Amino acid sequence: MNTYLEFEKPIEELDNKVHELKSLNDNAPSDNLLEEITQVEDKINETYKKIYSSISPWQRTLIARHPQRPKTREYIQNLIEDFFPLSGDRFFSEDKAILGGFGKFRGKTVLVIGHEKGHDTTSRIEHNFGMPRPEGYRKAQRLMKLAEEFDIPVISFVDTPGAYPGVGAEQRGQSEAIAKTTECCLSLGVPIVAIIIGEGGSGGAVAIGTGNTVLMLENSIYSVISPEGCSSILWKDNTKTVEAASALKLTAEDMLKIDVIDKIVKEPIGGAHRNPHRIIESVGDEIEKYLNLLSNQHGNDLKHARQERYLQIGRSGLFSDKTSAANTVLDEKFGKSGSKKRFFKGLLSRSILGVIAGLLFVGLLVYLFI
C-alpha cells in the first residue's frame, strides 16, 4: 500500500490506473494494454515534474518525513555487507533510535551509525520515532571511538525529528550527551561522511551529523527547529507551518548556498520513496566517492580540515562590519582607549563622511556664487 501526500493525490489516480491495466495485461497480455500502460506512466512522470517544479519548502518537509522514504535500516541492508550490529552505551541501556555497527561497504570495513525512525507502528515505537535518548548518543560516541582505534571510516545517516524531550532523557543528561557526541565527531582521527537522508532535526541531528563531508538528499530538510515549532514560537500561531518552512530556508538547495553541506544527492522523479533502490545506489556512489577522497589523509589532517570546515560556516559578512574589522586596525594604531576608538569609529562612519562632503559642497557653492 502506498501512502500519498495531499499534493501527490493526482498521482494516486494514475497509479491505480496503471495497477489496473497491469492486472488486465497479466490475465490477457496485449500490445494495446502495454502501450496504454506506457502512456499512463509517462503521464505520471509529467505530473510529477509539474508538481515538483513548484514544490514548497513545507511540501519538501512532508516528503522528508514520508513514511515510505527509505530509512537508515534500508540503506544498511542494501549497501552494507556482513553487517555486525552493536548495542548499548555501557552505562545505562541500549537505544534503538540510533543504529550502529561495523560492516563492509563496497569492499572496505566501515562503521555505520544512523538515526532509525522505523517503518510501521511497531517498529516506530521500538525506535522511538528516531528520537534518541542520551544512551543513543553515548553509544554513537563509543562506536566512533572504536572505529578510530581500528582506523575505520565512519558513515553517518541523519534522520531525526530531534532528540527525545523526556524526563528520563533530561535526568540522564541529554544536553551533555549531545555536546560530547559533537565533540567526539570533531576530534575523530578517521574520515566521517554524514548524509541527511530525511529530517535533520536540530541538535539531535548535528550530534552525529558533524563530518568531513556532509551530503544531503534533494528532498531532505535540515533545521534548528521544526516548521511547527517555529510557527508556534515566532508567529505565536500553530498554523503558520507553510510560512515558517519557507522563512527557515531549510532545503538542501539552501544548505548548499551557505556551505552547510557539500553536495546534494538528486532523488528520482517523485522523491526517494518512489524508487528506493535507485536513491540508495546513488547515495552509495556518493559516499564511495567522498570516502575515497578522504581515505589517504592523516588523522590529524582530517581533524583539522573538519574543524576548519565548521569554523568557516557563517563567517561571510560578519567580519565586514565597521565595529569589528575597522576596530582591530584602529586598536593597533591608537591603543585601546575607548573614547579615542569610539571617536575614530564615529569619524569613519558613512554619515560623517556624508556631512563632510555636504559641507564641502556648500562651501563650493558659496565660493562659486559670491
Interaction residues for another protein, span 170-229 (CB under 8 A): 170-176, 178-180, 182-183, 185-187, 202-203, 206-207, 210, 222-225
The answer to whether residue 304 forms part of the interface with another protein (CB under 8 A) is no
Candidates 179, 93, 100, 102; CA nearest to 133 is 93
For position 278 contacting another protein by CB under 8 A, the verdict is no
Tell whether residue 93 is a contact of another protein (CB under 8 A). Answer: no
Interface with another protein includes 336 (CB under 8 A)?
yes
d(CA 38, CA 32): 10
- Specify the residue, 173 or 299, whose C-beta has the smaller distance to another protein: 173
* CA angle, residues 117, 118, 121, in degrees to nearest 5: 120
Q: Per the structure block, which three cell numbers stand in for 277?
A: 533502490
Q: Could you tell me the smallest distance in angstroms from the CB atom of residue 352 to another protein?
A: 7
Q: Which cell is 64 given?
A: 522528508
Are 248 and 225 in contact by the 8 Å Cβ rule? The answer is yes
Q: Does 169 bind another protein (CB under 8 A)?
A: yes
Least distance between another protein and beta carbon 107 (Å): 31
The reply to whether 255 sits near another protein by the rule CB under 8 A is: yes
Site for another protein in 341-360 (CB under 8 A): 342-343, 345-347, 349, 351-352, 355
Region of 12 please: left (phi>0), alpha (psi -120 to 50) or beta.
alpha
Single out the segment in contact with another protein by CB under 8 A; choices: 15-23, 56-64, 163-171, 359-367: 163-171
Contact pick of 154, 158, 197, 248 for another protein (by CB under 8 A): 248
Q: Are 11 and 4 in contact (CB under 8 A)?
A: yes
Number of H helices, E strands in the chain: 17, 8
Q: Which stretch binds another protein (CB under 8 A): 152-160, 268-276, 315-323, 359-367?
A: 315-323
C-beta of 150 vs 343, nearer to another protein: 343
How many residues belong to the chain?
370
Three-class secondary structure of residue 148 per DSSP: helix
